[in-house]
């Protein structure tokens, strides 16, 4: 997009194009071009993303910020048959957010111990699709020499399920939590299912310790909410999630039935989506008298492609 100035003028508003947010404009008389997503002055502008010309007066400073997206919940791959995994509608929704015709999609299967079978299923699901698949494994050692360079070069990152407790420990040991935060802030779309959803939140319930569910706290969270997964699939999930929020052990949060995911933009819930009819999402909070309140959120039903 090209910004062409004519008269001095100040605009205090937000404009979004090609995934870039433009805000606080003060224009005065030059044609400027920009390429990048960081805060910049007009002296540093070079080329805009879309090539569309927009009439604005000249700016003293422009802030360009990528929107930060997280897709998290209880939905991911589809399996029409046991031998044929597919990218589900929720994953395709996530890929569309990248704005890329052939996005680079990285799998993190840390929670499953980087199981080779899981990684193979991922590549099988991506085969023949308009996506460039890759993966980052940490067991027994990283498969990329420069983890940060690899992660920041992706358009989207999908985190699989398994043990969220083990995932958080291994990520911290490798400094991956810091790298993923930088990727998120740079506009890489993050997503995941089950443990791969809780890992972005302040905590949730987990079977990482054994069959009886226990709380898990994530000190490196990107979202300030707790996360409940498989809400309709495991009978312990709902009562324990509510109990922990009621006691203040977890902050207010969101929960998803199987097949449902939450779309957060810049730390706020933007939309709930589902790849199965009749399923729901829930906001669970604590009222002033100390009563747990659960509000159902009806998701948008996505269609398989």
Q: What length is written for the chain?
A: 305
Q: Is 274 a catalytic residue?
A: no
Q: Is 230 a catalytic residue?
A: yes
Q: Are 76 and 259 in contact (CB under 8 A)?
A: no
The 3-class SS string of the chain reads: CEEECCCCEEEEEEEEECCEEEEEEEECCCEEECCCCCCEEHHHCCCCCCCCEEECCCCCEEEEEECCEEEEECCCCEEEECCEEECCHHHHHHHHCCCCCCCEEEEECHHHCCCHHHHHHHHHHHCCCCCEEEEECCCCCCCCCCHHHHHHCCCEEEECCCCHHHHHHHHHHHCHHHHHHHHHHCCCEEEEECHHHHCCCCEEEECCCCCCCEEEECCCCCCCCEEECCCCCCCCHHHHHHHHHHHCCCCCEEEECCCEEEEEECCEEEEEEECCCCCCEEEEEECCCCCEEEEEECCEECCCC
**The one catalytic residue among 194, 201, 226, 274:** 194
Tokens of 169: 């420990």
**The one catalytic residue among 69, 135, 230, 263:** 230
Q: Are 265 and 79 in contact (CB under 8 A)?
A: no
Active-site residue set: 194, 230
């Amino acid at each position: 997009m090209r910004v062409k100035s004519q008269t001095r003028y100040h605009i205090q508003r937000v404009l979004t194009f090609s995934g870039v947010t433009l805000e606080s404009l003060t224009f005065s008389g030059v044609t400027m071009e920009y390429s990048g997503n960081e805060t910049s002055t007009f002296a540093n502008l070079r080329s805009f993303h879309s090539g569309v010309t927009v009439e604005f007066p000249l700016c003293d400073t422009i802030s360009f910020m990528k929107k930060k997206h997280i897709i998290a919940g209880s939905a991911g791959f589809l399996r029409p048959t046991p031998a044929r995994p597919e990218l589900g509608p929720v994953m395709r929704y996530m890929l569309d957010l990248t704005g890329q015709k052939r996005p680079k999609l990285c799998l993190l299967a840390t929670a499953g111990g980087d199981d080779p079978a899981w990684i193979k299923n991922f590549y099988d699901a991506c085969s023949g699709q308009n996506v460039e698949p890759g993966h980052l494994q940490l067991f027994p050692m990283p498969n990329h020499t420069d983890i940060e360079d690899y992660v920041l070069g992706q358009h989207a990152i999908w985190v699989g399920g398994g043990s969220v407790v083990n995932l958080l420990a291994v990520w911290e040991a490798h400094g991956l939590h810091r790298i993923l935060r930088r990727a998120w802030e740079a506009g890489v779309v993050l997503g995941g299912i089950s443990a791969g959803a809780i890992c972005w939140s302040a905590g949730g319930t987990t079977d990482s310790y054994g069959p009886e569910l226990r709380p898990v706290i994530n000190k490196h969270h990107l979202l300030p909410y707790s996360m409940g997964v498989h809400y309709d699939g495991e009978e312990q999930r709902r009562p324990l999630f509510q109990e922990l929020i009621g006691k203040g052990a977890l902050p207010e949060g969101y929960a998803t039935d199987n097949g449902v995911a939450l779309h957060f933009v810049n730390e706020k819930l933007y939309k709930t989506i589902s790849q199965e009819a009749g399923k729901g999402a829930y906001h669970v909070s604590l009222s002033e008298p100390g009563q747990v309140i659960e509000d159902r959120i009806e998701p948008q039903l996505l269609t398989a492609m």
